[in-house]
Structure 1
Amino acid sequence: MLPSPNLDDRKFEQIVQEARRAIPKWMPDWTDENAHDPGITLIEMFAWLTEMQQFYMNRVPLRIQLKFLKLLGTKPKLPSRARAAVSFSGLDRSLMLPEGTKLDGIDQRFETVERIVLHPAKLDRIIVRTDREANDYTSTNDNVGVSFFAFGADARAGNRFYMAFDRELAAGDELTISVTLAEEEGTTFVPARHPQQEVVPSAAVSWKFYGTENQADLAVSDASGLGAVRPSAWLPLDIVRDETLQLMYSGTITIRIPHPMRQVMVHPANDRGRCWICCTIEEDGYESPPRIEHIALNTVQAVQQDTHVVLYDTKGNGKAEQSIRLSSHLGVHGSLRVQLANERGQWTDLPRSGSDSAFDYADDMPRVTAGYRLIRQPEAGEITVIVEGIAAETAASMAGKPLLRVIAYSDELNDKRLIGMTNGLPGQKVAVYDHPLQNGRFRLQIGQLRDDQWQWEDWIEVDDFDASDASDRHYVWDEAAQELRFGDNERGLVPTASEKPNICIVACAYGGGSRGNVKPHYIDRIADDFYADRGLQVTNHQYARGGTERETIEACIDRVRGELARPFRAVTAEDTEFIVRRTPGVRVARVKALPLYTKGLADYPREQSPGQLTVVVVPASPVLTPKPSAGFLQTVKRHLDDRRLITTETHVIPPAYIRITVHAVIVVEPHFVDEHGKVAAALNKLLKPLDGKDGSPGWTFGRTVHKSDLYSIMNAMDGVCYIQELWLDADGKQWNRTPSGDIALPPYGLVYSGEHEIELISRLNV
């Protein structure tokens, strides 16, 4: 017998005790809590009723729980697939690697997520130069877990980061560079899904290489009238893509060399000339200076999955001939089907034309006017499908609509793509034993044989038929039972009966789970002999991450409870602070929301600005007084503007830092006269803007620095008899000294410690 889920494990006694503990808070006048009191009797009765409700709730079956979750707009998550950055080497010439190239990591299959141009160049030197020093970090890059600052610890404008290659790159060559940054700890960080759209860079960098521009472009006239070539110089690189967003994140940078490279010596690598590229900070502003953990060339993302069928659709161009160019592993090395659509959304298989341009029809191939030719280019990692003979009326009516489809199958699935036949009966179930299909990761077509010609229609997977009507081509896949279910012509269309297998897989991928989270250098084999035989090698320098198992119903319920309690609109100050802390793409160390406030109010909160909301943010940074860049503030404001109340105007500002210097004369026991450092450490721990690693809180925004706070700290220290004198100095903007000598801060103000002057006097000398 299957165990029933326990939705609430509170027992009768626990419910009674929780209610009795709440009496002093809600009913302070109720003082008699003995068993004879009628109120206690009512509490016990309602506790019994609550326990009975829980008993019936625990008998809610799984099917009903899933319905409740659906009403909340969610469901248990599918197994997620691990991802890793994989680097290729071992080439003696450039090679195009198509999307979906299959790799092996122990017993797990991985695939590249996009095409990449591989180059035989290797990384030879890594140099960091600042205005004070130049360092060689080549050996540091080879050690996992060791990092270095890309532009020095201060990351000022003008600092440079150099990389040298072991050979010259020709004009037009593309190279992909993977940069892994050391992860920050101790702050909330939500990666941005689309950093280029959501995050404004905190700094600006430029990329250059040392080379010579084309003679045709830079020929200048000399005295003889002949052309002369401008000498080599540092020239701008073409940045094809920058996932790091100015080296703010880990990711890849794809560069293109516009002109030939030349060798040059860069200090301190003065032993010989090398081919260099250089990254320079043009505008500083990094909250945390970029700290590089590893750099690798020829790197692309790989995902833990095994794709056996993949399809590509393209829209019509209104002409009788149309071509599709694909850079796909299955397209280049697998079996293909090419289909043509009609106005009713039905697809027809096209025959492949022969070398003499006469279509080579198979016996079971329908007689259609169109056909296709293939141009395979394995070395270039792509395939071109050329479709000819499209009827004029079809081409015209389907212009701008999905017209052509290319379906690529792996060799092992090509002969098993048909998984069953339909019987035309309502509620049909089709068991599938040969394929471990996964929810949401496959697609089906169902065919109808009309006039000796197959017409294929796309069917869509749904979780259930609750929202399906009689015309919807929907099916449900029960992964546990490994069976397909179709509708009954009321909830979902009943597929037409067929005497031949007509349920066809047109997209299918396997994978997912925690086993894909493999260690570094475990993805070490290319599954395709075509590339392995050419000496191509692969490895992952970092862990593969992100693979999880299917979410259980209990975990899903807990997640939904947390999501329902999580603010998603900035209604209160607490909501605003919660949302700002989780701004995607930036690390926020501290935040303070000031409702009804704009910068400049002299007596807040008694003076107020209706409709205004000011948010003070402090970025995570290793410096004592972190200051957000203009890009950081704009990123937070964009995120907040999408979630604010429509009548509210938001302002995101940096904090005002006030340096506090304490001058104190303290009378202590004789053997404590040399403990100046302990007193200064206690003051530094109190007067700091950020939370400490030991859990000590940072200074509260806008809180006045009272001398009484300092008296309390110092009087509590061992050996202190009394404080003879105490006064405070402050340095900064917008602060005021009160008549009692305290330091009043603005609402967005924070303090940090200066050089405290502490004088300790033995009580014997007083």
Structure 2
Amino acid sequence: MLFVKELQNKPYAERISEAMMKLPLISPEWTNYNPSDPGITVLENLTAFNTLQGESITNISYRAKAALLKMASITPKKGKCARLLLSADKLDKPIYIRTGQKFRLGDLCFEAGRNMNVGGSRVVGVYSRYGDTFHDYSYCVDREVRLGARIFGDKPKVGDELYFIINSIPDDIKDTYFYFEVDGSNKRNPVEDRALNIFADAKWEYYTEHGFEELKVRDYTGTFLYSGEVKISFGSSRPAVCKEAPEEGYCIRVTLTKADFDVRPKLLGVEGFLFEVWQRETEGICYTINKVDGIEITSNFSDNEYIAVFAKEEKGSAYRKYELTRGDGHGRYCYFEETGSRSFRISFDKEKYGYEPVKVKDCVRVIIYNEDMMRTYDVGSVIGYDDQEIELPVKHIVRDSFCLIARRDDGEGGFIYEFVRPEKNEEDALYYHLLENDGKIIIEDAGDYIGARLYIGMIAVSEGEKGNILAGNELIADNIPGAYFYNPCNGVGGAFRESLQSMKERFVEDINTPYTAVTEKDYEQIVKTTPGLCIRKVHACIDTAENMVKVIAMPDTGDEKPYLSDIYIEKITERLEQRRLISTRVEIIQPIYTPVAVRGTVYVKRHYNGCKEKILEALGREIDYMRSDKNFGDVLVFEEVFHSIEALDCVQFVYDLSITPENPKVATLKDSDIYPKENCLFSLGNVQIETVTYED
């Protein structure tokens, strides 16, 4: 079989040489091998064609390669801008920020996604009520204190309440974010649906002139089980000062409606009234406008020097370009006047200039570039050959922010303009792929756009994973002197669009990844990664005679001897039912724990202090399976226990040592080793070690 690489790598000289060597075998009567011979000329042409075929046999288009991978359910992971929550609690008074407002940290730029008022509100007190008593946990609002508060006590129950006291809540507030930092979040497996509350749930309310009224919330903390935000949407009623809470002020109350916690919530910190920004920097922005009278725009660029205006003059037509003017003239002009440092107004007058837009949807587009983009927004012409590549002036482009302007001749000495998005699949349209990571476009089908000139219509760039900054920074806002904003949590979600090479590697990994549990390791991995659960140890054993798999799991809930709750058994069973072999039965078994007693005499060296404590530590490392890497059913080997003591620097020698299980029903002593049941874990039990100072 001739492999693709062999076809591709053979140069022309090697191919023609092989063909000439085969001629005497194929046609002995052929004796003229001079270049002037017509047969040699035909052979050279065929060899050259074969070489070109070999070189292009693997040059499949980007679209074809992506389609082949899509057949195997491998589609590119989309690029995302990092998302960040900011606090404005350092502002003396509220301020209004617009969509696109820039916040900077070093060379990173974050932008607001919408218009909003920020600042002026903060959490000043945290109280909980359980057991008919109020408990003050207001230290949780101090960023310098991370003591941890059991906000619902040691035995949370339905009806327990949590109060957040707030200095002020604006009347016009619609929604905001709270962020909660919780101890032990790293132990819990992530869930696909971050708003899923497995173990607990709560009702959120705020105090109004009519009493407490319910809030709409999107809780991403699992009801205070892991660190995350809670999106809060206020109703139409005005907030009011509450005097029923332990501290007077505006109040948000949380009441538990379900309290089957596997781990008791421990709150480290709370941040209120946060707003979200996205890591991106817009270098060219396009405003689409549905009216033509009195267009007013406030931009986030430092100046308004680089503005382009396009308008439709007939319904369904392409755009025409209008020039800015501050005076009279005849032609496609629009009157431009600055109304502020970053604001301007545009107006059209047909009687004065002779042209104006038609009043239809999207009739006017106004583009503003920064200085760098203004110098490079012209990217080239559409030539028309297959898969034409055009370099763009920047890399790491935000896909949703990108658009090209295609300029074509109108046949009358002028130009018409079309705004073209990537992969716009319409008849005779310009169809191109945007390789946002590489900063390129690939024109797959030029359609009716051969000869068109291409310009960037709008564009923003992102830093991908670099935008996932750690918590605890201060960001500075452009054009807002003296304003500092704090990020209480890490930036999340930042990533570049997955490359074709990465998709190929993921395809290879995918076909080698088992999705059905077959071996013990498969079952153990599936159980250990059950979403939303805290699993510390898992052991699976297969009973071939019964065609059954027994699974034992130890939750990581912080209890001394944790057992599987009904919720744990339900979630683990659901996950295994989706992945087990049809003919295989699965049984979930509770863990059992038994202590191991140790007796003996150890001779220790002189001048060593704390020998007994060190011996106990060594015994704990070997015998305490709950805190070591030992798993269910692992044999406790006497020699390993013996050598763990003997290897201590302070020990001269071990004179006598014995280990015995304190519950012989679940563990058996055999030849000095202890053999536990398949679902048994050992712990260090009664220790009677006598230490004797060794005398030379």
Interval of TM-score (by shorter of Structure 1 and Structure 2):
0.5 to 0.7
Q: Alpha-carbon deviation of 1:701?
A: 1.6
2:226 maps to 249
- Does the aligned pair in 2 maintain the 1:154–1:289 contact within 8 Å? yes
2:125 maps to 125
2:516 matched to 1:539?
A: no
Q: 1 CA distance for matches of 2:117 and 2:76? A: 38
- Does the aligned pair in 2 maintain the 1:667–1:722 contact within 8 Å? yes
1:19 maps to none
Q: 2 CA distance for matches of 1:436 and 1:677? A: 60
Is the alpha carbon distance of 1:115 and 1:538 closer, same or farther for their aligned partners in structure 2, counting shifts above 3 Å? same
Measured against aligned partners, the alpha-carbon deviations of 1:441-493 in whole angstroms (never above 9, x if no partner) come to 6344647677999684745359xxxxx9998853255779966442xxxxx32
1:295 maps to 270
Q: Alpha-carbon deviation of 1:110?
A: 0.6
2:655 matched to 1:721?
A: yes
Q: 1 CA distance for matches of 2:441 and 2:101? A: 30
1:590 maps to 537
Q: Alpha-carbon deviation of 1:111?
A: 1.8
Structure 2: which amino acid aligns with 1:572?
T
Higher RCO structure (Cα 8 Å, ≥6 apart): 1
Instruction: Tell me the secondary structure at the aligned position of residue 87 of structure 2.
Output: strand
Q: 1 CA distance for matches of 2:626 and 2:620? A: 11
- 1:512 equivalent among 453, 460, 463: 463
2:633 matched to 1:702?
A: yes
Structure 2: which amino acid aligns with 1:298?
F
Instruction: Tell me the secondary structure at the aligned position of residue 422 of structure 2.
Output: strand
2:622 maps to 686
Q: 2 CA distance for matches of 1:276 and 1:481? A: 50
1:163-562 map, 5 Å: 163-167=164-168, 174-182=175-183, 191-196=190-195, 199-209=196-206, 211=207, 214=210, 235=212, 237-256=214-233, 260-264=239-243, 273-308=248-283, 371-372=360-361, 409-410=367-368, 412=370, 419=378, 422=381, 425-427=384-386, 429=388, 438=397, 440=399, 442-444=402-404, 446=406, 456=418, 458=420, 460=422, 473-476=430-433, 484-486=441-443, 492-497=444-449, 501=453, 503=454, 505=456, 508-513=459-464, 516=467, 522-527=473-478, 529=479, 532=480, 537-544=484-491
Q: Alpha-carbon deviation of 1:308?
A: 4.8
- Does the aligned pair in 1 maintain the 2:279–2:463 contact within 8 Å? yes
Q: Alpha-carbon deviation of 1:103?
A: 1.7
Q: 2 CA distance for matches of 1:649 and 1:273? A: 59
Q: Alpha-carbon deviation of 1:96?
A: 7.2
1:571-590 map, 5 Å: 571-590=518-537
- Does the aligned pair in 1 maintain the 2:126–2:165 contact within 8 Å? yes
User: Which one is further off, 139-148 or 76-85?
Assistant: 76-85
Is the alpha carbon distance of 1:192 and 1:101 closer, same or farther for their aligned partners in structure 2, counting shifts above 3 Å? farther
Instruction: Tell me the secondary structure at the aligned position of residue 224 of structure 2.
Output: coil
Q: Alpha-carbon deviation of 1:536?
A: 6.3
Measured against aligned partners, the alpha-carbon deviations of 1:628-655 in whole angstroms (never above 9, x if no partner) come to 555555555555555444555656x474
- Does the aligned pair in 1 maintain the 2:83–2:493 contact within 8 Å? yes
Is the alpha carbon distance of 1:469 and 1:167 closer, same or farther for their aligned partners in structure 2, counting shifts above 3 Å? closer
Measured against aligned partners, the alpha-carbon deviations of 1:78-107 in whole angstroms (never above 9, x if no partner) come to 987544321224667777756544322223
Measured against aligned partners, the alpha-carbon deviations of 1:521-573 in whole angstroms (never above 9, x if no partner) come to 6452223x4xx38x865222345466678999999998877666654443322
2:553 maps to 617
User: Which one is further off, 255-264 or 412-421?
Assistant: 412-421
- Does the aligned pair in 2 maintain the 1:237–1:256 contact within 8 Å? no
Q: 2 CA distance for matches of 1:65 and 1:721? A: 75
- Does the aligned pair in 2 maintain the 1:200–1:632 contact within 8 Å? no
Q: 1 CA distance for matches of 2:299 and 2:198? A: 35
Instruction: Tell me the secondary structure at the aligned position of residue 620 of structure 2.
Output: helix
Structure 2: which amino acid aligns with 1:264?
K
Q: 2 CA distance for matches of 1:451 and 1:556? A: 45
Is the alpha carbon distance of 1:174 and 1:484 closer, same or farther for their aligned partners in structure 2, counting shifts above 3 Å? closer
Is the alpha carbon distance of 1:537 and 1:591 closer, same or farther for their aligned partners in structure 2, counting shifts above 3 Å? same
Q: Which runs of 5+ in 1 are unaligned?
A: 1-59, 215-231, 314-319, 322-327, 373-384, 388-405, 463-467, 487-491, 596-604
User: Which one is further off, 736-745 or 280-289?
Assistant: 736-745
1:659 maps to 594
Structure 2: which amino acid aligns with 1:722?
D
Is the alpha carbon distance of 1:436 and 1:169 closer, same or farther for their aligned partners in structure 2, counting shifts above 3 Å? closer
1:52 maps to none
Structure 2: which amino acid aligns with 1:300?
F
Instruction: Tell me the secondary structure at the aligned position of residue 460 of structure 1.
Output: coil
Q: 1 CA distance for matches of 2:644 and 2:374? A: 79
Q: 1 CA distance for matches of 2:274 and 2:203? A: 21
- Does the aligned pair in 1 maintain the 2:86–2:485 contact within 8 Å? yes
Instruction: Tell me the secondary structure at the aligned position of residue 621 of structure 2.
Output: helix
Q: Alpha-carbon deviation of 1:625?
A: 3.1
1:730 maps to 663
Is the alpha carbon distance of 1:144 and 1:634 closer, same or farther for their aligned partners in structure 2, counting shifts above 3 Å? farther
1:4 maps to none
Instruction: Tell me the secondary structure at the aligned position of residue 522 of structure 2.
Output: helix
1:591-606 map, 5 Å: 591-595=538-542, 605=543
1:758 maps to 688
Q: Alpha-carbon deviation of 1:305?
A: 0.7
Q: 2 CA distance for matches of 1:242 and 1:339? A: 46
TM-score (norm 1): 0.59
Q: Alpha-carbon deviation of 1:689?
A: 4.2
1:602 maps to none
- Does the aligned pair in 1 maintain the 2:312–2:319 contact within 8 Å? yes
2:163 maps to 162
Structure 1: which amino acid aligns with 2:241?
R
- Does the aligned pair in 1 maintain the 2:216–2:234 contact within 8 Å? no
Measured against aligned partners, the alpha-carbon deviations of 1:669-722 in whole angstroms (never above 9, x if no partner) come to 5999x9765565444333434344xxxx23x22347788987887788845423
Q: 1 CA distance for matches of 2:231 and 2:467? A: 27
Q: Which runs of 5+ in 2 are unaligned?
A: 1-54, 292-297, 323-333, 336-347
2:102 matched to 1:106?
A: no
Aligned residues: 589
2:33 maps to none
Measured against aligned partners, the alpha-carbon deviations of 1:491-522 in whole angstroms (never above 9, x if no partner) come to x3233247774x45455321215654556564
Measured against aligned partners, the alpha-carbon deviations of 1:101-132 in whole angstroms (never above 9, x if no partner) come to 43222232112356766463222123456659
Q: Alpha-carbon deviation of 1:429?
A: 4.9
2:31 maps to none
1:748 maps to 679
- Does the aligned pair in 1 maintain the 2:83–2:279 contact within 8 Å? yes
Q: 2 CA distance for matches of 1:409 and 1:638? A: 53
TM-score (norm 2): 0.64
Is the alpha carbon distance of 1:450 and 1:194 closer, same or farther for their aligned partners in structure 2, counting shifts above 3 Å? farther
Is the alpha carbon distance of 1:572 and 1:417 closer, same or farther for their aligned partners in structure 2, counting shifts above 3 Å? same
Is the alpha carbon distance of 1:126 and 1:79 closer, same or farther for their aligned partners in structure 2, counting shifts above 3 Å? same
Q: 2 CA distance for matches of 1:675 and 1:430? A: 73
Q: 2 CA distance for matches of 1:483 and 1:508? A: 13
Q: 1 CA distance for matches of 2:108 and 2:180? A: 25
Q: 2 CA distance for matches of 1:171 and 1:478? A: 42
1:30 maps to none
Q: 2 CA distance for matches of 1:115 and 1:590? A: 49
Q: 1 CA distance for matches of 2:390 and 2:619? A: 72
